A and B are shown apart, each in its own frame.
Chain A
Amino acid sequence: MRNLSGKSRWLVFGLFAIGLALLPFLIDASMGRSWVRLLDLALLYVMLALGLNIVVGYAGLLDLGYVAFYALGAYVYAWLASPHFGLHLPFWAILPLGALLAGAFGVLLGAPTLRLRGDYLAIVTLGFGEIVRIFMNNLNAPFNLTNGPQGINLIDPVTIGGASLSQTQTWLGVTFNGVHLTYYLFLLATLAVVFVSMRLENSRIGRAWVAIREDEIAAAASGINTRNLKLLAFAMGATFGGLAGGLFASFQGFISPESFNLMESIMILCMIVLGGMGHIPGVIFGALVLTLLPEALRYTGDWQRAILGEVVIEPSDLRMLLFGFALVAVMLYRPAGLIPSSRRRAELADEAP
């Protein structure tokens, strides 16, 4: 990309944009509607992974409770746009509010952890993640805030200009299914998150985060206020998480604490590590692979029938086993991730004689 001249760069960019715009239709036609829905979910995970990437990938703060901010964004959306409290605010008001509130909670949960590093930080953040989930599970009494384990139902879908994104709409003779429209909304949000990540990466702030990751004492001695910059990393990461949470609530129409367990945090962390920590294309790729691969492995039953004539091992049993093998294999053969940063590649080239 970098070597291309201005004109061909725009051409590549244009083709890429057209490809992204047509993608849901291509997938719908070739693989079915359920895969478009998965694509929507995958975009949510791209946002989450990029958010956590700021905390873990750039600032080097191992956060195992990231899903708490996702939950917070989702609950804020549910409280303000569902019959639970009888409020039905528009999405463009709730999404930023949820994101900001999650960001504020990022600072709040980050503050007590500032002195902690590595394993200790991981354990404390893990605790915070669980605390938030357990709160959501139990805050149905004395005042019914979260409706407990039953969760909140009938959450309003995103509505733009009177058109609900949960229903089929026809514009200019083209029929858009709900999942297609959701795709475009999520794509816009994802592109915004990617854009902010890219701009931050090559900035004074981004460099300060990486400096903290590399050597906190040297960073402080180089004039970086490590406390404020760590809190900023927590806040930025949490903001992305809150945004994704709000979109998730509007998309599903139903949320419960079960969606926000520790496994989610770990999966998001896996996406970053597997894709290439601190490298935006790697993180995006990791999120897509880890969302789509487990679903693709559901088809192992069909493959068995095609090859062996019968289903020897239940796909549901085989699926997570193969998934686990894939994770182990990637970490063994590509320890820096599937798409490591050019810097890491340059290092490998540097080491060659």
Chain B
Amino acid sequence: MSLLAVNGVNKSFGGLQALTDISLSVNAGEIYGLIGPNGAGKTTLFNALTGLYSIDSGDIRLREARLADLPPHHILKLGLARTFQNIRLFAEMTALENVLVGRHARTRSGVIGAVLRLAPTRREEADSTERAHALLARVGIAQHADRVAKHLSYGDQRRLEIARALASEPEVLALDEPAAGMNPGERVALAALLRTLRDDGLTLLLIEHDVKLVMGLCDRLAVLDYGVKIFEGTPEAASRDPKVIAAYLGDETV
């Protein structure tokens, strides 16, 4: 059974039909690519999955839980975390604090605990801080823990966004163009990181424009064009599919 199931999702903005009858099924433990030309509806689908947009019709399920119409924080708590195409960090906070915010859904202390610094709150803070440092190390920016997020390099900001998303202990991590703006060396490191995340049991949903990266990394992928899914299958099959070649790859050889 698939871990994340999207069924017949429609979304329109005024007269523009952004998503038409989209159905996908993402299996546990795979890297699932979502590709398509600009304006194909990839980010719209991400926003629908993570509760930033409400959908007009259809069904989205993570295991048994219905995600459609839940608020974003609730969806995150159910185990679907995301990053953004146009990096959305908390710019004035340090890298460590950004990751600590990502722990919010998995921690509980409130005002009274904070003011009186009760034992459970102290324990929780220590635990969160330790996990946050470990996550920063995992994505490779441990040395920047105390730097303000907006002063990190572009690539490091993308890694920090991944660390923040991972802090919520997701089952599915949705990455919106994680390699955008990265140099070739950074891309290789990112691909390696994503593979180790998958090997640790995380399921990844990946929007990416870099065809080489997608082909090399994804176990399966779906191709969107003008809000319609025109293909779902392995990368090798995609590169041979005439509809995909026509719509997305054009006359480029892969």
Contact = CB atoms under 8 A, between A and B. Distances in A.
A218 B89 CA distance: 7
B97 interface: yes
Contact of B82 (A195, A206, A211, A221): A221
Contacts of A224: 73, 101, 104-105
A206 B109 CA distance: 11
A207 B148 contact: no
Interface SS of A by simple majority: helix
A221 B101 contact: no
> For this complex, into which size category does the number of interface residues on chain B fall?
35 or more
B93 A226 contact: no
B136 to A, nearest CB: 16
Given A219-B101, A223-B76, A205 B148 contact: no
Given A215-B89, A221-B50, A203 B121 contact: yes
> For this complex, into which size category does the number of interface residues on chain A fall?
20 to 34
A223 B73 contact: yes
B91 A214 contact: yes
Contacts of A205: 109-111, 114
Interface string A214-258: 110111111111100000100010000000000000000000000
B97 A207 contact: yes
Given A203-B109, A217-B52, A223-B105, A350 B147 contact: yes
Interface in B102-142: 102-107, 109-111, 113-117, 121, 124-125, 128
A115 interface: no
A345 to B, nearest CB: 11
B102 A223 contact: yes
Nearest to A214: B90
Contacts of B100: 204, 207
Interface of A: 195-196, 199-200, 203-208, 210-211, 214-215, 217-226, 232, 236, 343, 346-347, 350-351
Interface of B: 50-52, 71-73, 76-77, 81-82, 84, 88-94, 97, 100-107, 109-111, 113-117, 121, 124-125, 128, 147-148, 151, 164-165, 168
11 contacts: A214-B90, A214-B93, A221-B52, A221-B88, A222-B164, A223-B76, A223-B105, A223-B106, A236-B111, A350-B147, A350-B151
